[in-house]
Chains A and B, each alone.
Chain A
């Protein structure tokens, strides 16, 4: 029982990181029907940017006083989000925007190319080996404070939730309540009509990429503080996990992406714990293929008009 609870906790915290990346996939797919293959690698770049900030710029250690550490981490998250948002916007300008009117597979192939470019830039700068930071979050069991033993929730896992959940709420608010969010939903439904209604389609798409990039950056920071390590090809598998989450929840559907990510996090954790870790990737891909074949609309259904 305790083991199962522990596995669920691990699965949910992994799922929350998946969710941040999955939202980037689902936002972009919802609006221009592009599987943004480079998104996972953007997340990887985000974790490397955070790596540089933590280890060289701010030099945070476990001894840093708590208030200072909170302020520094908040600053790191902000800087990384801005950086990845800017990178994502430039990628959109260079690789996707010129292909708006090309056949649909052209931007996908361009995205694959971009993914390799980002991976190799990281390889060029950081080398082929894993890059690690020292654990800076205190290693305490939050649950032991309230007298529960046997199951642990670490400070890292709390940190994941503290960063991720407000971002998810903010995104939902932005898309559903603001004027720009309405423009995004309109563009997702029908870009031509949205354009005729006065929506600046190009700007809306750019903002979508900015938001997706920022979320990937935040996920990168969370990743490196949670796992304390990053590597140049981290983004490929992670990105496919996140994409699977988006598909699982119903691509284009924000709540779906979060739900899908949590489910996939659990699948990952349970497969690692109870099956065998070397089969986990195969299982994730089998889930992806199964969903696409049998229920392409996902768990919560697609929220975009089918323009295929």
Chain B
């Protein structure tokens, strides 16, 4: 047994110790995994290596090929960066909507909080002061200039705080009311950012006369590009930014995976499946849902900070209802509740939206200039997709088996319409068996996972021990 098999100590220190010891044990864990499931592990390794090499290959071979030899829709570096940004968002929304089952239609608000954190704390916008932290190169510049690595946690805290502030009074609401409340919140936040361009405020020590806090319609720019060791990672630096995004995305994936397998993650899933039962089992449902809301929001904060720093500008127009829905479609298309599913959903959807449809539009114009441009009607396609997914495959293309079983088996009391016939009853029975099988599989997976990452715990009780 290795060092990491000790129970994880609570708190930041314990978490860091655990992180370091797991990192040290990675080669061993990889070897064991290779012995256990050779084909799968090899395939995953190849995929990971390809993903890491893709930005370079894309720049060196794919894009020149598309330009010079034959037009194929290979994404630009900026699009690949946006894949990373939306990947982080989709993984964050998946925590709220997928794990905890809370439909958030205003997720874009937290993205906005992240972006404006960067805009306020790393731009010359507040030019009357000069605060420059940890940087020799821009010493003495007007405005506030925090380094990127400080903005990320600050944005996470800001977004999570607002998530909790929104969630605290509203999480007791029923699912559809909660959806509408979050939608309203998501609409208010950009309006606030848009309108705080000429603020008059005079109270106590604060005197604002026509103060432009948020830049209004024009937004705030330029925002400092992320820079480490003198290297910039902004939109002008091409694949460097892609790799920074990739690092953030991998961080998001690892965090979400660990959260899912934690005591809290099991509590989220328990609440999603049956809130009353979960409460009976001793889960503090309000606190658990609040944590899902806050943690989910913090992912959008990271995405927002990266978007603003990467593009160097932010305006309230970026944060529309359509963006919230776009992230929701990524989650639903990929497979709600499954991290890998929603990640693929995000990558594919950004690709389709920003590269494939414009490419298709160009091909259409080559045929005839009168043909409609499909990239103008992206949301027609996405809308049809949403309706079709809900009808034919609500669990998404790469589903979480547990979630799929839930979605095909409505809880009693929700069914309306004619009384259940014998046939319905038989189908319900079959579904119940399927669901049981899926749950058993989930238990088995959890045990396997526990073995792989050497977390102590008696076998077989993984979902059952959910609680706070």
Do the two chains belong together in a single complex?
Answer: yes
Interface stretch (choices B22-30, B234-242, B403-411, B435-443): B403-411
Interface size of B in residues (CB-CB distance below 8 Å): 51
Interfacial chain B residues near A278, Cβ < 8 Å? 191, 194-195
| CB contact between A110 and one of B328, B386, B417 (< 8 Å): that residue | B386
| CB contact between B188 and one of A196, A286, A296, A307 (< 8 Å): that residue | A286
Cβ-closest chain A residue relative to B169 = A293
Give complex CA distance A301, B34 in Å: 62
Cβ-closest chain B residue relative to A236 = B321
Cβ-closest chain B residue relative to A193 = B419
**CB of A181 to closest CB in B, whole Å:** 19
| CB contact between B406 and one of A99, A101, A103 (< 8 Å): that residue | A103
Interface mask (A94-116 → B, CB under 8 Å = 1, otherwise 0): 11001111111111111011111
Interfacial chain A residues near B416, Cβ < 8 Å? 32, 100-101, 191-192, 201
**CB of B167 to closest CB in A, whole Å:** 11
Contact of B332 with A by CB under 8 A: yes
**CB of B385 to closest CB in A, whole Å:** 7
Contact of A4 with B by CB under 8 A: no
Contact of A62 with B by CB under 8 A: no
Q: Are B410 and A289 in contact (CB under 8 A)?
A: no
Contact of A195 with B by CB under 8 A: yes
Give complex CA distance A243, B380 in Å: 23
Interface mask (B384-425 → A, CB under 8 Å = 1, otherwise 0): 111100110010000000000011001101111111000000
Interface stretch (choices A117-125, A131-139, A152-160, A254-262): A117-125
| A101-B415, A201-B416 known; A124+B185 contact, CB < 8 A | no
Interface stretch (choices B61-69, B175-183, B445-453): B175-183
Q: Are B328 and A243 in contact (CB under 8 A)?
A: no
Interfacial chain A residues near B417, Cβ < 8 Å? 100-101, 191, 195, 201-202
| A106-B394, A281-B191 known; A117+B387 contact, CB < 8 A | yes
Residue among A35, A109, A114, A282 with the highest chain B CB neighbour number at 10 A = A109
Q: Are B391 and A292 in contact (CB under 8 A)?
A: no
Contact of A92 with B by CB under 8 A: no
**CB of A287 to closest CB in B, whole Å:** 9
| CB contact between A104 and one of B105, B414, B418 (< 8 Å): that residue | B414
**CB of A94 to closest CB in B, whole Å:** 7
Q: Are B180 and A292 in contact (CB under 8 A)?
A: yes
| A109-B328, A113-B385 known; A293+B175 contact, CB < 8 A | no
Interface mask (B362-401 → A, CB under 8 Å = 1, otherwise 0): 0000000000100011011011111100110010000000
| CB contact between A115 and one of B377, B383, B407 (< 8 Å): that residue | B383
Interfacial chain B residues near A116, Cβ < 8 Å? 322, 325, 379-380, 382-383, 386
Interfacial chain B residues near A289, Cβ < 8 Å? 170, 181, 184-185, 188
Interfacial chain B residues near A35, Cβ < 8 Å? 176, 179-180
Contact of B192 with A by CB under 8 A: yes
Q: Are A113 and B406 in contact (CB under 8 A)?
A: no
Contact of B85 with A by CB under 8 A: no
| A191-B417, A293-B170 known; A108+B188 contact, CB < 8 A | no
Cβ-closest chain B residue relative to A278 = B195
Give complex CA distance A15, B185 in Å: 23
| A105-B176, A236-B321 known; A293+B386 contact, CB < 8 A | no
**CB of A279 to closest CB in B, whole Å:** 6
**CB of A141 to closest CB in B, whole Å:** 34
Contact of A126 with B by CB under 8 A: no
Contact of B174 with A by CB under 8 A: yes
**CB of A196 to closest CB in B, whole Å:** 7
Q: Are A117 and B184 in contact (CB under 8 A)?
A: no
Interfacial chain B residues near A108, Cβ < 8 Å? 103, 176, 179
Give complex CA distance A282, B186 in Å: 10
Contacts of A195-249 to chain B: CB distance below 8 A: 195-196, 201-202, 236, 240, 243, 247
Contact of A59 with B by CB under 8 A: no
**CB of A244 to closest CB in B, whole Å:** 8
Interfacial chain B residues near A113, Cβ < 8 Å? 382-387, 390
**CB of A208 to closest CB in B, whole Å:** 13
Q: Are A124 and B377 in contact (CB under 8 A)?
A: yes
Interfacial chain B residues near A192, Cβ < 8 Å? 416, 419
| A101-B416, A113-B386, A293-B170 known; A288+B391 contact, CB < 8 A | no
| CB contact between A296 and one of B173, B332, B384, B410 (< 8 Å): that residue | B173
Q: Are A195 and B332 in contact (CB under 8 A)?
A: no
Give complex CA distance A232, B367 in Å: 28
Give complex CA distance A104, B411 in Å: 10
Contact of B187 with A by CB under 8 A: yes
Q: Are A94 and B383 in contact (CB under 8 A)?
A: no
Contacts of A175-199 to chain B: CB distance below 8 A: 191-192, 195-196
Interfacial chain B residues near A98, Cβ < 8 Å? 391
Q: Are B410 and A288 in contact (CB under 8 A)?
A: no
Contact of A308 with B by CB under 8 A: yes
Interfacial chain B residues near A308, Cβ < 8 Å? 174
Q: Are A109 and B194 in contact (CB under 8 A)?
A: no
Contact of A285 with B by CB under 8 A: yes
Contacts of A250-308 to chain B: CB distance below 8 A: 276, 278-279, 281-282, 285-286, 288-289, 292-293, 296, 307-308
- Chain A to chain B: the 3 pairs with minimum beta-carbon distance, closest first: A113-B386, A116-B383, A120-B380
5 A-B residue pairs with CB within 8 Å: A104-B175, A112-B383, A123-B380, A296-B173, A307-B413
Knowing that A99-B390, A123-B377, A278-B191 touch, tell me 16 more A-B residue pairs with CB under 8 angstroms. Answer: A33-B176, A95-B391, A105-B103, A113-B383, A114-B387, A115-B383, A116-B380, A117-B384, A120-B377, A195-B418, A196-B419, A240-B184, A282-B191, A282-B195, A288-B184, A292-B173
Residue ranges of B at the interface with A (Cβ–Cβ < 8 Å): 103, 105, 169-170, 173-177, 179-181, 183-185, 187-188, 191-192, 194-195, 321-322, 325, 328, 332, 372, 376-377, 379-380, 382-387, 390-391, 394, 406-407, 410-411, 413-419
